[in-house]
Amino acid sequence: MRKIAIAASLTVLSLTLASCGEPSPKNPISAASLETAQWNSKAAGELRDRIDRRDEHALDHVAFALPEKGKDGEDRALTDEALRFASALAKGSADPAKLYPIYTLARPDIDLRNGLADALMQGKVGEWLDNLAPKDPHYLALSKAYVALRKGDGQGAPAIPERARPLEPGSTDARIPAIALQLIALGYLDNGSTKPTRYDAVMTKAVQRMQADYGIKPDGIIGSDALEILNFTDGDRARSIGVAMERLRWLERNAPSTRIDVNTATSQLTYWRDGKIVDSRRVVVGEPDTETPLLQSPIYRLVANPTWTVPRSIEKKEIAGKGEGYLRQNNMVWKDGWIVQQPGPKNSLGLVKFDMQNTHAIYLHDTPAKALFNEVQRQRSHGCVRVEDALGFAEILARDAGVLEEWRKARDAGEEGFVALPRKLPVRLMYQTVVVDDGGNAIIRADPYGWDDRVAKALGFPSVAAHRLKSGGNDVGP
């Protein structure tokens, strides 16, 4: 049984996907003609073949009701199922807008009815279907991994067994190599940092950090709770990969070549310029219960030395009852009925805000709470995205936008200042719990928001109970 390799060095999952198959511009057939479309044996055979091989797209848990050959209404039933299968490939089997309260990421816009009509006319139904799903190398890598796992019926990597006595630091145990691999996959242990023959001090510290993140007593003792987080069977891996493939199908195939992508599941930012990754850095994103939403929104200006108007929700939850002394200590004042934090080193937005255009008050910004960037699970904010070395990142963006002189002048003024970008910079806030390493291996990461389950259910996978990341940011920043 082929197992998914675990590697320590990861690359950010590329989400620039190849374009969908489009109807031929020559001699298009009206979509209305599908009502009376005639399916020959070749076209019907190609449809049945692609549906039979739908595990290549992790859609094998989704049922498609193909009619019996020669049965009355066969042509109409084939058309209906072909459109349904094509939609699953081109746009996803589920509608993300129905699964999440906020979803504004650009989606594929494909005329499937005209596409099918054209494919039937040209006798290329199979070719048309083959071109609908993403063609990106990362999607193909996930497909390969999923098929390999399914061929093993999810039994190739059995769960790490629980023993009568919990595993304590300093112990030797046959399960330690498997535990080390899971800690590496989850990001708590560096590959090569320990020899997995004994539960040594390095592994113990990794387990303690994991326990703290998930609300378990951080004693380093591996009992049932810790094993529940560590245990990934091949079936669990296949489920996670299937969810990741569905999320890729939701995305437009031709993303802007210059953009910022933020993966809130792994708390990682990637800056693309002209189709190439030019910068990648850690971020802190929304904690569970104040999750960073799934949205697409551009940065339109840089704000130097920003003020912060405290939202009512944070004012009531975090500041109410703390008194004027707290406000003075944190450089906060009342202004027009709102608490406003003045510019300076204590400002919760730090020294730069990357202003974005959306109705959800979500943006990227600096932070004085630098220690959070050293955490493995960095879901610790009230929903906005805190950027590691934000001043350095602002320099990069300002230079690329041709406004570096204006930016430096505003930054050095010490007062709130605004520098408009000549061209808006697209930002996508996404959620992917599977990344692909340099060797093309699928690496399963944590699901800190517990958002995989709703997608998995929509794809027909069984529900899995799992530990959620523990809430508890230690500052009042956005």
DSSP string for residues in 327-388: HHHTTEEEETTEEEEPSSTT-TTTTEEEEE--TT---EE--S-GGGGG-SS-EEESSSEEET
Question: Which positions are annotated as active-site residues?
Answer: 365, 384
> What is the DSSP-derived secondary structure letter of residue 55?
G
| Residue-level pLDDT at 464 | 80
Paired sense of beta strands 364-365 and 385-387, if any: parallel
Q: Is the pLDDT of residue 72 over 90?
A: no
Whose tokens are 């709102």? That residue is 338
pLDDT of residue 414: 93
- Domain membership of residue 301 (yes or no) is yes
CA proximity to 368, closest of 402, 341, 336: 341
pLDDT (tens digit, 9 = 90+) per residue, 424-470?
Answer: 999 999 999 999 988 888 888 889 999 999 999 999 998 887 777 77
Alpha-carbon span 237 to 156, nearest angstrom:
11
Q: 71-79 — which CB contacts under 8 Å span 24+ positions? A: 74/39, 74/44, 75/36, 75/37, 75/38, 75/39, 76/35, 78/39, 78/44, 78/47, 79/34, 79/37, 79/39, 79/116
Residue 13 DSSP class? P
CB-based contact 478:306 (threshold 8 Å): no
278 shares its domain with 421: yes
Mean pLDDT calculated for residue range 296-307:
98
Residues near 395 by beta carbon (within 8 Å), at least 6 away in sequence: 404, 407
What pLDDT score does 461 carry?
95
pLDDT at 194: 62
Between 103 and 75, residue with greater pLDDT:
103
| Domain extent for 387 | 257-435
Angle among Cα 398, 402, 408 to the nearest 5 degrees reads 45
- Return left, alpha or beta for 299; rule: phi > 0 is left, psi -120 to 50 is alpha, else beta: beta
The domain boundary, picked from 115, 133, 151, lies at 133
> How many whole angstroms separate alpha carbon 180 and alpha carbon 230?
9
Nearest Cα to 254, choosing from 278, 268, 272?
A: 272
Between the ranges 3-7, 91-95, 236-240, 379-383, where is the mean pLDDT highest?
A: 91-95
Report if residue 119 sits inside a domain: yes
pLDDT in tens, 369-421: 999 999 888 999 999 999 999 999 999 999 999 999 999 999 999 999 999 99
pLDDT digits (tens, 9 = 90+) for 322-366: 889 999 999 999 999 999 999 998 899 999 999 999 999 999 999
Check residue 151 and give its pLDDT: 82
Residue 307 lies in a domain: yes
Distance CA 155, CA 153 (A): 6
**Does 222 map to a domain?**
no
Last residue of a domain, one of 117, 133, 149: 133
The pLDDT assigned to 7 comes to: 35
Report if residue 241 sits inside a domain.
Answer: no
Domain holding 354: CATH number? 2.40.440.10
CA 85 from chain center: how many Å?
A: 24
217-229 mean pLDDT: 91
Q: Which residue has the higher pLDDT, 294 or 23?
A: 294
C-beta of residue 330 within 8 angstroms of C-beta of residue 341: yes
- For residue 167, being part of any structural domain is answered with no
DSSP string over 427-467? EEEE--SEEEBTTS-EEE---TT--HHHHHHHTTPPP---P
- The H-assigned helical ranges of 200-276 are 201-213, 224-230, 234-250
* Cα(459)–Cα(346) distance, integer angstroms: 46
Residue 190 has pLDDT above 50, yes or no: yes
Q: Is residue 230 part of a domain?
A: no
Q: Could you count the other beta carbons within 10 Å of the beta carbon of residue 87?
A: 16
236-293 pLDDT, tens digit each: 889 999 999 999 999 999 999 999 999 999 999 999 999 999 999 999 999 998 999 9
The residue to which tokens 């990934």 are assigned? 232
When pLDDT is cut at 50, 70 and 90, the band that residue 33 belongs to is low
What pLDDT was estimated at residue 273?
A: 97
Of 69, 101, 133, the last residue of a domain is 133
Whether the Cβ atoms of residue 17 and residue 248 lie closer than 8 Å to each other: yes
Residue 150 φ then ψ, to 5°: -70, -35
| Residue 121 near residue 29 (C-beta atoms within 8 A) | yes
d(CA 260, CA 362) in angstroms, rounded, equals 14
Look up tokens 């406000």; give the residue.
327
Q: What is the pLDDT of residue 306?
A: 98
**pLDDT confidence of residue 157:** 57
Of 58, 56, 70, 121, the closest CA to residue 94 belongs to: 58
Same domain, 124 and 264: no
Across the chain, mean pLDDT equals 88
Burial (Cβ within 10 Å: 0-12, 13-18, ≥19) of residue 155 = exposed
**pLDDT number for residue 463:** 83
Number of domains in the chain: 2
150: confidence class by pLDDT, cuts 50, 70, 90:
confident
Q: Which pLDDT score, from 0 to 100, does residue 186 have? A: 84
Answer yes or no: is 189 within a domain.
Answer: no
H-only helix segments in 14-58: 41-52
Dist CA 341 CA 347 (whole Å) = 6
> Among residues of the chain, what percentage have pLDDT more than 90?
69
pLDDT at 13 over 70: no
pLDDT at 452 (0 to 100): 95
Percent share of the chain, pLDDT over 70: 90
What is the pLDDT at residue 28? 45
pTM score: 0.86
Shared-domain flag, residues 410 and 269: yes
